[in-house]
Amino acid sequence: MQNIDKIAIGAAVVLLLVGFTSSAFIGDQGAEFSDAISTATGEIQSTQAKQSVENQAAPEVENEVKKAFSFQGETEIPEWVFYRRPARLELFRTAVILPPELAPGWIAKVEVIREGSSKSTLHRISGRHGIFERADVVSCNLEMSEGGSEWSKVSTFSSVQTAAGFVAEVDSGLETGKSYSYRISMRARSTSSVPFASGTDVVTSGPSEAVLFPANSIWRVSGAQIGKLDGGGNFVPGRVTVQNTVWDWASGGTKRNTKIITESPQGTDGEELFGTGYRLERIQDTADGRTVVLKNSAGKRMYLKNNGDPQRLDPRDWFNTDADPAEEPIGDETSAEDSEDDSDDPPPAQPARPRPSGGGLFGGGDD
C-alpha cells in the first residue's frame, strides 16, 4: 500500500514538472492578444486629436485595430483574456455633412417690345435664376405687381438649373397706361441629410422698377379757350389745339397729328378728328382746371386736361444698375502687393502754413 502511495506522488510530481516546463516553452497567446489591443488603444488615444473636419482620410489607427482582431485560420483565444481588464473600443470615421444652400435670382432688365408683325405689345423680362446646392427646385415663378399691389404669378419655369439665365415674355393681363414690376420667386427642398432651416427654403429676388405698358395712341390738348362775347357783343367760339399721337407699326415709331379746332355752334357736330371718330364737344372749366371733352359717334366721351402731359408711346426700358450678387467678388480683392506698394509711397507734401501776422485786426501789426 505504501508503494502505491509513493507511485502516485511520484506521478504527480512528474506531471507538475512537465506542465511548468511546457509553459516555459509555449507562448501566452492570451497575453499577445491583450498586448495588441493595448497597442491599438494607445494608437487611438494618440491620433484622436489629429482627426478634424478638414481631414476626411480614414484614421491610421484603423489598421492597428484591424490587426489586433484579424486572424488567419483557426485561432483559440483563452476565455480569461476578455476578463483580464475592462476594455472599450471606439473607431470613428470623419464625415462632413453640408446643409443645403439657396440664394435668390436676379432681374437684369425689363423691356417694352413692339412687334410689328402681330401689332402687339409685350414686356420682356430677363435675368438669372437662383443658385442652389444640395437641393432640388420645387417651384420657380415669375411674379408681377401693378402699382404696389399684391404680387401674383404670371408664369412658371420648369427644369430650372442653378444660376441659369432666363427670358420671359408677358403680354396677357396687362392694361394700357399702367406700370408693372416683376420678381422671381423660388422654393426648394433639401437633398442633404440636413434640412433647410425654417423659412429658408423660399427665396425671392429684388423687384424691378415699374415699367409702363403703353397704349397705341395718346391725346393731348393745349391752349384751350372758352367761348365768350367780344367787346362788340358778338360771341367768339372757343378753340383748342388737339394733338393725336399714334404708334406706327410699319416704321416702328410714333406718328403725330396736330390741328387747331374751333367749337361748333350748338346743335351741330364738329369736325371729325384724324379719322378716329372723335369730335370736339365742348370746352369747360372744372375743379381740376380747364378740360376739353371729345365725343365719338357711340357716345363715348374722353376728358382731356388742358396742357396735360400724356404717357409716352415709347416708354424707356428698365435696366438693373446694381451688380449681380452672384458676380460680386468675395472679400477684399486688393492684393497684398498693392497694399505694400501703397504703404511704401511717401505721403504727399503738405504746403507750408503761413506764419501769423502781427495780430492786427486787418492783418497788420498793432503799431
Residues 145, 201: one domain? Answer: yes
Whether 235 maps to a domain, the answer reads yes
pLDDT band at 47 (very low <50, low <70, confident <90, very high): low
Residues 73, 109: one domain? Answer: no
Whether 346 maps to a domain, the answer reads no
Task: Give which of 313, 109, 347, 77 is closest to 215, Cα–Cα.
Answer: 313
For the ranges 6-15, 325-334, 337-346, the lowest mean pLDDT is seen at: 337-346
pLDDT at residue 292 is higher than 90:
yes
Task: Give which of 196, 180, 203, 181 is closest to 129, Cα–Cα.
Answer: 203
Give the pLDDT of residue 101: 96
Give the pLDDT of residue 49: 56
Residues 191, 234: one domain? Answer: no
For range 43-55, the mean pLDDT: 60
For range 165-185, the mean pLDDT: 95
Domain holding 292, by residue range, is 217-305
Residues 106, 189: one domain? Answer: yes
Instruction: Please name the amino acid found at residue 317.
Output: D
Residues 225, 293: one domain? Answer: yes
Residues 203, 222: one domain? Answer: no
Whether 120 maps to a domain, the answer reads yes
pLDDT, one tens digit per residue, over 266-291 is 878 889 999 999 999 999 999 989 99
Domain boundary among 253, 285, 305: 305
Q: Total structural domains in the chain?
A: 3
Whether 239 maps to a domain, the answer reads yes
Ramachandran assignment for 140, one of left (phi > 0), alpha (psi -120 to 50 degrees), beta (any other): beta
- Containing 174, the helix (H) or strand (E) segment is none
Residues 225, 296: one domain? Answer: yes
pLDDT at residue 237 is higher than 60:
yes
Whether 347 maps to a domain, the answer reads no
Task: Give which of 198, 202, 196, 211 is closest to 184, Cα–Cα.
Answer: 202
Residues 190, 244: one domain? Answer: no
Residues 113, 209: one domain? Answer: yes
Give the pLDDT of residue 91: 63
Residues 204, 228: one domain? Answer: no
Whether 179 maps to a domain, the answer reads yes
CB 221 within 8 A of CB 291: no
Give the pLDDT of residue 230: 86
| Residue whose cell numbers read 365719338 | 296
Instruction: Please name the amino acid found at residue 37.
Output: I
Domain boundary among 305, 337, 356: 305
Residues 189, 225: one domain? Answer: no
Whether 201 maps to a domain, the answer reads yes
pLDDT at residue 2 is higher than 80:
no
- Containing 32, the helix (H) or strand (E) segment is helix 29-47
d(CA 310, CA 256): 13
d(CA 176, CA 63): 76
Residues 141, 67: one domain? Answer: no
CB 278 within 8 A of CB 240: no
Whether 153 maps to a domain, the answer reads yes
CB-count burial class (<10 Å; 0-12, 13-18, 19+) for 310 = middle
pLDDT band at 53 (very low <50, low <70, confident <90, very high): very low
Could you tell me the three cell numbers for 355?
A: 506764419
Number of Cβ within 10 Å of residue 205's Cβ equals 23
Give the pLDDT of residue 147: 86
pLDDT, one tens digit per residue, over 12-36 is 666 666 665 655 555 566 677 777 7
Domain boundary among 285, 305, 325: 305
pLDDT band at 124 (very low <50, low <70, confident <90, very high): very high
| Domain of residue 112, CATH code | 2.60.40.10
Which strands make up the sheet holding 239-248, listed edge to edge? 217-225, 239-248, 253-262
